[in-house]
Amino acid sequence: MTDSGSKLKIWKFLKIILSSLLITVLLLFTVASIRTLSLDVNVGLQLAHWEKTNNISLVIDHHQREELLANFKAFPTVFSSSLVHHELVGNYSHLFRVQGSQPDLVPYLLLAHIDVVPATESDGWEAPPFSAKEMDGFIYGRGTIDDKGSVMGILQALEYLLIKGYAPRRGFYIGLGHDEEVSGLNGAKNIVRILKQNGVQLAFVLDEGLAVIDGIISGLDGPAALIGVSEKGSATVKLTVSMLPGHASMPPRETSIGILAAAVKRLEENPMPRLFGLGPERYTFEHLAHKFKLPMKFVMSNLWLFSPLLGRLLERQENTNAFVRTTTAVTMFNAGVKVNVIPSLAEAHVNLRIHSAQSLQEVLDLIHATVADQRVKIELVEGFDPLPVSSADEKSFGYQIIKKTVLDMFPTVTVAPGICVGNTDSRHFKDLTSNIYRFAPAWFKPGDPQRFHGINERISKKNYEEFVVFFFNLIQNCDIQKLPEPHSSVHEL
């Protein structure tokens, strides 16, 4: 085989692997609506009695509130223990403070959310999305993975520990937001406000985010647990062109629609700069490199050399372009009210997901430079910088405790840091800690990531048990004062 043929074979193989990795991460996020939940301590997950709304909303009526509060009685020991202080936040979110016996140990926070994205049976579900129907060892229902597995896994683990008479040395908090899918402005943000008022600083925060993937990344030998150490930033930008209206029979040389369309085209034809290798995505490939065979092991172990080449390859694919740069997506375009009237106003909205190596302001400056037309008004609707990259080195308490807990349960798994291309409400906690991690022990095999926010979302009964055991072990592992050796035995449940 010629050198050029060998190189082409390597790049084709590489493209398959990298595409698989980003597809997995991308499918873990979207936006949505409010639901409430029912809890059944015996079954573990009971979705049948969830209240639901049909549209994205921040309003829950009094009946829903009372139903939701009543459901938490499924954990009587949690609510009756003298070690646990419970506070209702924003009427529907919850903050638990679990007292530790050694107040000099910095507390941590376990974060989850009780709202879910919309679902209707007409979408093609095999079981009604709020029925909690069990089939072949799986419980089907909206929210089984996002994020009721964590909500109930945390509470059930704490219930078991308290029943056993366990008293933690390191105090910790549990935050359960009710509006994560619509940014967490009334849930997580108010939880942060209360913690700040009490002068709380956190050792780390653990939220949902990435998961265990098994058989999804082509060429990867064995499953991998990806722990999110950062999130991309986000911006929504509004472009507006305003002109005098006119009759279609006497059109001007340029219309508001034409000017705006040209501006949008310039944004699409001139993407943000390629930045692969300058953010935490580099860590993912470096940590997984040893689980690939040659030549991929060599390529991924030497990103100092191959990053530019990989970046050019990745940007060619829609599914992997998000690793490379800040992405630009024109999501709304509105203009015109009648076929024979030239509109005075044309508007477009652009959504950008900001790479860790860029700032919100840098992205806005590039948009202005690319549009380069004074007739186009550019406004920031909302946005925030990429989240700081949390530590994942050997001295990082939070990361190493999470890693240890994963390896206690899944010794054959490779643990690696990763980046969330979507957003969670954990970003509101960045003033309370520099260590925010995004991981839940959901186990994804081929076909499973598509269920996340899609149809037939489900969790196996075995995997839900693993959620409970994970948090059961994590809480105990956090009681140590210094980091352990890389691996030790699991706690008895």
CA atoms within 13 A on the CB side of 197: 6
Rounded Cα distance between 355 and 481, Å, is 35
* Residues annotated as part of the active site: 115, 180
Reported confidence tier of residue 235, pLDDT bands at 50, 70, 90: very high
Asked whether the predicted pLDDT for residue 115 surpasses 60, the reply is: yes
Please check whether residue 23 lies inside any domain of the structure.
Answer: yes
Rounded Cα distance between 418 and 415, Å, is 10
Q: Which residue has the tokens 């979207």?
A: 30
Q: Are residues 148 and 224 in the same domain?
A: yes
49-100 confidence digits (pLDDT tens):
333 333 333 444 555 566 666 677 778 899 999 999 999 998 889 999 999 9
pLDDT of amino acid 216:
75
Asked whether the predicted pLDDT for residue 160 surpasses 50, the reply is: yes
pLDDT of amino acid 444:
85
Q: Which residues have CB under 8 Å from 326's CB, separation 6+?
A: 232, 272, 275, 352, 353, 354, 355, 358, 363
Please check whether residue 274 lies inside any domain of the structure.
Answer: yes
Asked whether the predicted pLDDT for residue 482 surpasses 50, the reply is: yes
Average pLDDT score over residue span 174-192: 91
Taking alpha carbons only, the member of 493, 397, 478, 472 closest to residue 100 is 478
Q: Which of 1-5, 131-135, 236-240, 274-278 has the lowest mean pLDDT?
A: 1-5
Give the residue with greater pLDDT, 241 vs 300. 241
Rounded Cα distance between 204 and 474, Å, is 13
Q: Which of 25-34, 116-125, 178-187, 249-258 has the lowest mean pLDDT?
A: 25-34
pLDDT of amino acid 107:
98
The Cβ of residue 394 has, within 10 Å, a number of other Cβ atoms equal to: 9
The Cβ of residue 16 has, within 10 Å, a number of other Cβ atoms equal to: 12
Q: Are residues 204 and 244 in the same domain?
A: no
Q: Are residues 299 and 324 in the same domain?
A: yes
Average pLDDT score over residue span 255-275: 97
Please check whether residue 38 lies inside any domain of the structure.
Answer: no
Q: Are residues 96 and 199 in the same domain?
A: yes
* β partners of residue 226: 416
Q: Are residues 19 and 128 in the same domain?
A: no
Supply 208's token pair.
Answer: 């949902």
- pTM of structure: 0.80
Positions of E strands within 58-188: 84-89, 93-98, 108-113, 134-135, 138-140, 172-177
Query: Do 318 and 212 contact (CB within 8 A), yes or no?
Result: no
pLDDT of amino acid 57:
39
Reported confidence tier of residue 228, pLDDT bands at 50, 70, 90: very high
Please check whether residue 81 lies inside any domain of the structure.
Answer: yes
Average pLDDT across the chain, whole number: 84
Domain of 342? 3-27+231-384
pLDDT of amino acid 323:
81
Q: Are residues 248 and 371 in the same domain?
A: yes
Rounded Cα distance between 265 and 106, Å, is 51
Please check whether residue 362 lies inside any domain of the structure.
Answer: yes
Q: Are residues 396 and 369 in the same domain?
A: no
Q: Are residues 424 and 340 in the same domain?
A: no
Reported confidence tier of residue 375, pLDDT bands at 50, 70, 90: very high
Domain boundary among 325, 353, 384: 384
pLDDT of amino acid 8:
60
Average pLDDT score over residue span 130-147: 82
Rounded Cα distance between 240 and 382, Å, is 16
pLDDT of amino acid 352:
97
Query: Do 178 and 93 contact (CB within 8 A), yes or no?
Result: yes
CATH number at residue 72: 3.40.630.10
pLDDT of amino acid 44:
40
Rounded Cα distance between 459 and 468, Å, is 13
9-55 confidence digits (pLDDT tens):
555 655 555 555 544 444 443 323 333 333 343 444 433 333 333 33
pLDDT of amino acid 38:
36
Give the residue with greater pLDDT, 288 vs 41. 288
Q: Are residues 263 and 127 in the same domain?
A: no
Taking alpha carbons only, the member of 464, 451, 453, 449 closest to residue 215 is 449
SS3 string of 258-300?
A: HHHHHHHHHHHHCCCCCCCCCCCHHHHHHHHHHHCCCCHHHHH
Q: Which of 150-159, 191-200, 376-385 has the lowest mean pLDDT?
A: 150-159
Q: Are residues 244 and 375 in the same domain?
A: yes
The Cβ of residue 53 has, within 10 Å, a number of other Cβ atoms equal to: 16
Please check whether residue 8 lies inside any domain of the structure.
Answer: yes
Q: Which residues have CB under 8 Å from 104's CB, separation 6+?
A: none
Query: Of the ranges 1-10, 369-378, 483-492, which is most confident?
Result: 369-378
Instruction: Quote the number of domains for the chain.
Output: 2
DSSP type of residue 105: S
Please check whether residue 40 lies inside any domain of the structure.
Answer: no
Between vectors from CA 248 to CA 242 and to CA 251, what angle results, nearest 5°? 65
Q: Are residues 250 and 336 in the same domain?
A: yes
Supply 106's token pair.
Answer: 């910095």
DSSP type of residue 35: B
% of residues, the chain, pLDDT over 70? 83
Distance of CA 212 to the CA centre of its chain: 14
CATH number at residue 335: 3.30.70.360
Q: Are residues 101 and 207 in the same domain?
A: yes
Please check whether residue 307 lies inside any domain of the structure.
Answer: yes
326-369 confidence digits (pLDDT tens):
999 999 999 998 999 999 999 999 999 999 999 999 999 999 99
Alpha helices for 113-203 (secondary structure H): 148-163, 188-197
Taking alpha carbons only, the member of 219, 421, 403, 227 closest to residue 318 is 421
Asked whether the predicted pLDDT for residue 425 surpasses 80, the reply is: yes
